[in-house]
């Protein structure tokens, strides 16, 4: 079973990464240390999560103690929506590298295709017209400099990714999006495969307990039925489904037992007859984005926000 996926840069991206969204300071460093000791080699970070400094301290200790080498890890971070201006892009990655205590990240993503006024919160009235070509040009300079070994995007629809590919000097290596058995991203997945862009799935368990996503993937009847038949947990089945479907998965947990459980997805598989049942699941995007939709604003509907992919 593939423990890695090959990116269009030639780099190998581990198929399971630890998500760090809503992992509070005080616990996230311990979660990262636990994950790396279990065998995780991919840590998914973002400046907006507010915990990169603690993750950096944890990584430094792991390096100093000889637990793992920097070159054996794959570290992702992301450019937040209020820093799309080309002059802000280099400043943002420098801040991330300083906090993480690293010379480079393995992957740097535009966190969202929408843009906020500098220093404002994620609300409809703070949105301004994005200029993805200008932002991407600044991202390409980060790749040229070596500060980002690969560059990509997150939350891009098929249309937005197609538009970017039409102007990019360096094509995005990854599109990180919501992906799980209840939202399988069929159209986007097919497009990504055709263009050599790796699809990476955040919220692979549906992110129970987070404020942006509502829905319980782990209670889905197909997921629970397959789990029961295979003697696995629903979480393991949801993660294994993603890897078998061909994308990396980024489960988030701060509990050591769950971190361990979520990594136990390599020495077994979902048989074809059970895997086929996933195609019968009714699809629903769980992160709608209503919080940035306004009939008088930049995005007037959820349909417009996601270019009809809902």
Q: Which residues make up each annotated binding site for substrate? A: 111
Q: Which residue has the tokens 């926000």?
A: 305
Binding residue positions: 111
Question: Which candidate in 21, 49, 108, 202 is catalytic?
Answer: 49
Active-site residue, 104 included: no
Q: Which residue has the tokens 């061909």?
A: 246
Q: Which residue has the tokens 């086929």?
A: 276
Contact (CB, 8 A) for 48 and 80: yes
Distance CA 144, CA 177 (A): 25
Sign of the CA dihedral running 123, 126, 132, 137: negative
Could you write out the DSSP letters of every residue in 76-132?
Answer: EEEE-GGG-SHHHHHHHHHHHHHHHT-S-BSEEEE--SSEE-TT--S-GGGEE---H
Distance CA 164, CA 108 (A): 16
Of 184, 190, 183, 160, residue with least CA distance to 172: 160
Q: Write out the two tokens for 286.
A: 């769980």
Active site residues: 49
């Amino acid at each position: 079973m593939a423990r890695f996926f090959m990116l269009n840069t030639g780099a190998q991206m581990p198929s399971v990464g630890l998500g760090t969204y809503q992992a509070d300071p005080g616990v996230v460093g311990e979660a990262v240390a636990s994950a790396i000791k279990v065998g995780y080699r991919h840590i998914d970070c973002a400046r907006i999560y507010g915990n990169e400094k603690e993750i950096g301290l944890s990584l430094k200790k792991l390096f100093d103690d000889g637990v793992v080498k920097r070159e054996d890890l794959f570290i992702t971070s992301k450019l937040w929506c209020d820093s799309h201006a080309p002059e802000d892009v280099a400043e943002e990655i420098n801040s991330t590298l300083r906090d993480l205590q690293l010379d480079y990240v393995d992957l740097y993503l535009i966190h969202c295709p929408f843009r906020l006024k500098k220093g404002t919160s994620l609300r409809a009235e703070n949105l301004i017209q994005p200029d993805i070509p200008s932002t991407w040009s600044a991202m390409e300079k980060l790749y040229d400099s070596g500060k980002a070994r690969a560059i990509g995007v997150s939350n891009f629809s098929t249309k937005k990714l197609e538009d970017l590919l039409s102007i990019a000097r360096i094509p995005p290596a990854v599109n990180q999006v919501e992906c799980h058995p209840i939202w399988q991203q069929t159209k986007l997945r097919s497009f990504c495969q055709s263009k050599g862009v790796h699809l990476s799935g955040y919220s692979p368990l549906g992110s129970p307990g987070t404020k942006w996503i509502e829905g319980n993937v782990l209670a889905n009847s197909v997921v629970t039925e397959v789990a029961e038949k295979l003697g696995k947990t629903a979480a393991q089945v949801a993660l294994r489904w993603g890897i078998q479907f061909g994308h990396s998965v980024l489960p988030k947990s701060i509990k050591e037992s769950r971190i361990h459980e979520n990594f136990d997805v390599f020495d077994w598989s979902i048989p074809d007859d059970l895997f086929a049942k996933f195609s019968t699941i009714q699809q629903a995007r769980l992160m709608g984005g209503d919080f940035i939709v306004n009939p008088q604003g930049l995005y007037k509907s959820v349909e417009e926000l996601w270019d009809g992919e809902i």
